[in-house]
Structure 1
Amino acid sequence: MDNTKDFRRSILVADAKAADRKILSEILSQQYDVIQTENGSEALAILRSRKGQISLLLLDLLLPEIDGYAVMESMIKDGELAKIPVIALTSEKSAEVKSLQLAAVDFLTNPFDTPEVILARVRHSIALNEQTKLIQSTERDLLTHLYTKEYFFEYAKQLQERNPNTTMDSLAINLTNFHLINEIYGRNFGNIILQTIAADITQLAEESEGIGCRYNADGFFLYMAHHWNYEKPLERIQFHLSELLKETEIHVRMGICQGTFRSISIEQSFDRALYACNSLRENFTSAFAVYDEKMHEEEVRKARILSDFADAVEKRQFSVLYQPKYNIHGEFPVLSSLEALVSWSHPEFGKMRPDTFIPQFEKNGLIQKMDKYVWKEAACQMRKWKELHGTTIPVSVNVSRVDLHDPKIVDYLLQITKENDIDPSQFLLEITESAYIDDNNILVETVKKLREAGFKVEMDDFGSGYSSLNMLATLPIDAIKIDIGFIRKIIYDKKTMYLVNVIIGIAKEFGIPCIAEGVETKEQLDLLKNAGCEIVQGYYFSKPISPEEISELRKKAIRQDI
């Protein structure tokens, strides 16, 4: 439905001759509201007082006071008035060229054409102008006046086609924690920040014969002629932001895909620029990154990891290995439990450690499928060991933050343990400490339900950055697992060892054991034992090994000073 037909538009007729004004008004008033004036000064005054209300100006070029040419020149200087289409009224052919140069859209010559022709020309001029405005409203972002993403890519392609010999760079620019600016200072101030950045991007685009775009709430694209000093545009943006914000309040980051990647599309070049930009999320030492071959290989590898997941499960390329945990409380270390760890024998990348693919699964929603695969494999192996040795050795498995939001997690784990004749207390669940920060209430309730069902819950990576005494007081757990980063430094850093002593002391106060992972030397072992740590795991005792090797290990009665 065309709602634009539901109202009468207003037309200003500015003509020095009263007879001509009368003729035109009689013809146009059938369909339009007509306003008349006989001189240029009054025409401009009417246009300015009725901005947004005049749909068309019929303009005599020979007006008194200010002629038609001067009227059009004044309209061009005023951004809003420049949007009003002008039909020039003239009897001189020579005047047409100059009128076109001043943005007239059509001409009516005196003596005038038939009423039907005049109305047709008027309708066409108004319709064309309104269509142009409609296109422009979707073409530009209303806040920053930069191109919207769809139009940006189209114009970037045209720019590339018109300048095939010019090397163009694709830049992605965004802000770290911009949402906090809106929360602290309000949305209006946040808009000022965005407009400040957009102004710099507009200027940079003009200087380099490029174009700019706002591609999302706080993200911008810039397509500009290639140059090597990327620090200058970044410094310009940061300088203007520093006039509005403290240095610590906002961080600008920029990713660049150089025009040397000529074999890819415009869209792909900005995907790569954005990839480079996002690589800086946790990096506060550098504000820009250039997409290179190494980054490309890494991006392809990550994409392959995700796309190959289903095939890897089907072909059983994932192997579950087990790293022994030893109780060191007594005179001799005693095997107390195992941790299930997954590795991937990729047909192209070879043997892959979990830290090379698990983070990708966490980011893309595959982690829950990975976890369930490991849970099933571990539970099945526990049953086999029980049948082989007559006893069950506890095995711990990782539970991701995604799993904790699954309302069926308790039932699923109970089903696995029941199918494999395992007591839930022997199936240990390691929940990373960082999961607590996502949703305290959900985590606490889920952990309570798991413990009520008989499972034991260990807090993994304790001390990695999210821990608090309040968390330990509210979160029901059965063991604390000290983050490996502490263990690596306890030999040469007294402060770290002091913190480890504090953690172990807290665990004792809560009546739960403390587990240290990543123990590789006897010095580390002795320090932990003297501090009162009960359980350790690491390469000092054993690397993660196969189920068959675990069976051999269990057959040996380890009663020696290791």
Structure 2
Amino acid sequence: MACRRCQKNPISFEDGGDLLLTCGVRELLDKVVGVLDGAGVPYARQDMVVTLPDADLVGLLGFLRDSQALNPLEIRDVSALQMPSGQPLTFQSFTRARTLQSWFDLLGARDLLEVLDRKSFLSWFQPILSAVDGTLVGYEALLRAEREDGTLMFPGEIFEKASISELLFQVDRLARVTALRGAAQHGVEGLLFINFVPTAIYDPTHCLRTTVRWARKLDFDPKQIVFEVIETEKVRDVKHLKKVLDFYREVGYRVALDDVGSGYASLNLLAMLKPDIIKVDMEIMRNIHLDRNRQAIFKALVGIARDLGIQILAEGIEIQDELAYAVENGVDLVQGYLFARPAPDIIVPEVHDYWMREPGSR
């Protein structure tokens, strides 16, 4: 059975029904009732449960948030539950209850919820090249979301809202499927890098089943697909991450860690996880030809990767001097604006002038 955490959105603001409010302190619930009385909001109270029948969910949540009648501690102590009108209250119902703070966070992520409801994620693609001769070896699928008005949300905003509003499970699952479908639609050949958030995977067997099914349905060779851990430096549960990566490997996929070199944690993960590929943090690569400190970190990474049999991808390459340093010091793959920016269509960049020269004149 599939995990319901990522299969269903927690709420739809268009759904009607009753809103139930409760908390563990009678005085606080009395204060909530006073706020409702002051605004003329109809309700029924039975001991420690206040029911607002046929509530205008968006309007009511917006009112409670904007009124600032409750302080930050209080909005974390009041729980709210949306129920279909007339549906009996059961113990199972309370597993769907959220604090008012959590509801306010969802209200702030309403545009993301609407994107999830409409499944309007998009994948843009950026080329990845061989460091040996500059030939195309594959693409990274990069997430975008299209709002109803046609404007785009980019990964920073998407994942910030998803994290705050507890939507990471839904976002990560749909993003993985979107990347596969988009790559198949565009006829992507070679490697396909797909980002994922380890904390958004509760149980690999259940949470990744849809991804595996879509990959097979779209006739991807497992060896083509590289699942890339984003926010490597923020990984806290290494055992869980290893479990996820082991699942991917058992299915036949390859795995990569991104932003390696940005801190101790990602370096420490290399020996523990032995990914197939590491992506050197673009902040390390920025003007690396001018910075001995970054060069020292880079050379240490290359040495560790070589000892462990890991391929190295230098990302964020923007100028030829950065490219020259990366290639001359042992990277296997390169990626960056110097070759092509992410785009909704597949771009096959021309081989850069750097590789057209004789090795001694580069």
Q: TM-score, normalised by structure 2?
A: 0.65
Match of residue 322 from structure 1:
125
**Offset of 1:536 from its aligned partner?**
1.5
Paired residue for 2:157?
A: 356
- Counterpart check, 1:308 vs 2:105: no
After alignment, is 461-470 or 526-535 more displaced? 461-470
Rate the CA distance shift 1:302–1:323 in 2: closer, same or farther, 3 A: farther
Alpha-carbon distance between aligned partners in 1 of 2:150 and 2:182, rounded to the nearest angstrom: 27
Amino acid at match of 2:311: P
Q: How does 1:81-480 map to 2 (within 5 A)?
A: 265-267=67-69, 270-271=71-72, 306-315=109-118, 317-330=120-133, 333-347=134-148, 350-386=151-187, 392-406=189-203, 407-432=205-230, 434=232, 437-467=235-265, 470-480=268-278
User: What's the CA shift for 1:348?
Assistant: 5.7
Shift of 1:380: 2.2
Asked if the contact 1:488–1:518 (Cα under 8 Å) also holds between the matched residues in 2, the reply is yes
Q: Deviations over 1:335-377 (max 9, x none)?
A: 1111111123334693332112212213333222222222222
Match of 1:114 in 2: none
Name the SS of the counterpart of 2:109 in structure 1: helix
- The structure-2 alpha-carbon separation of the partners of 1:441 and 1:307, relative to structure 1 and needing over 3 Å to count, comes to same
CA distance in 1, matches of 2:66, 2:111: 24
Deviation for aligned residue 1:496: 1.5
Give the Cα separation in 2 of the matches to 1:403 and 1:511.
28
SS of aligned partner of 2:288:
coil
Amino acid across the alignment from 2:353:
D
Deviation at 1:409, TM superposition (A): 3.6
1:448/1:476 contact within 8 Å kept? no
Letter of the structure 2 residue corresponding to residue 369 of structure 1: Q
- Residue pair 2:112, 2:161 contacting (<8 A) in 1 also: no
Amino acid at match of 1:306: A
Preserved contact between residue 105 and residue 165 of structure 2 (Cα < 8 Å): no
Deviation at 1:429, TM superposition (A): 0.2
For the pair 1:515 / 2:309, whether they are aligned, the reply is: no
Residue-by-residue CA offset, 1:256-294 (whole Å, 9 max, x unaligned): xxxxxxx953425x349999xxxxxxxxxxxxxxxxxxx
Kindly indicate whether the alpha-carbon contact (under 8 Å) linking 1:346 and 1:352 is maintained by their aligned counterparts in 2: yes
For residues 175-207 of structure 1, give each alpha carbon's deviation from its aligned partner in whole angstroms, at most 9, with x where no partner exists: xxxxxxxxxxxxxxxxxxxxxxxxxxxxxxxxx
Aligned amino acid, residue 67 of structure 2: S
Change in Cα spacing, 1:488 to 1:152, as seen in structure 2 (3 Å) is farther
TM-score by length of 1: 0.44
Unpaired runs of at least 5, structure 2:
1-24, 36-64, 77-103, 355-362
Is the 1:320–1:377 contact (alpha carbons within 8 Å) kept by the matching residues of 2? Answer: yes
Larger radius of gyration: 1
Distance 1:431 1:498 in 2: 24
Shift of 1:469: 5.0
CA RMSD of aligned residues (A): 3.6
**Alpha-carbon contact 2:274-2:308 (below 8 Å) kept:** no
Distance in 2 (CA, whole Å) between partners of 1:320 and 1:272 is 40
Q: Give the Cα separation in 2 of the matches to 1:544 and 1:382.
A: 13
| CA–CA separation in structure 2 for the residues paired with 1:538 and 1:469 | 22
- CA–CA separation in structure 1 for the residues paired with 2:68 and 2:267: 51
Secondary structure of 2:340's match? coil
Structure 1 residues 435, 494: closer, same or farther in 2, change over 3 A? closer
Q: Aligned partners of 2:216, 2:245: CA distance in 1, in Å? A: 19
In the aligned structure 2, how far is the partner of 1:348 from the partner of 1:372? 24
1:455 Cα offset (Å): 0.7
C-alpha distance in 1 between matches for 2:290 and 2:34: 59
Residue identity (%): 24
Q: Is the CA contact 1:320–1:546 (under 8 Å) kept in the aligned structure 2?
A: yes
Q: Greater relative contact order: 1 or 2 (C-alpha under 8 angstroms, separation 6 or more)?
A: 2
User: Which consecutive residues of structure 1, in runs of 5 or more, have no partner in the other structure?
Assistant: 1-137, 140-147, 157-262, 276-300
Within 5 Å, give how 1:7-86 maps onto structure 2: none
Cα 1:316–1:535 change in 2 (3 A) is same
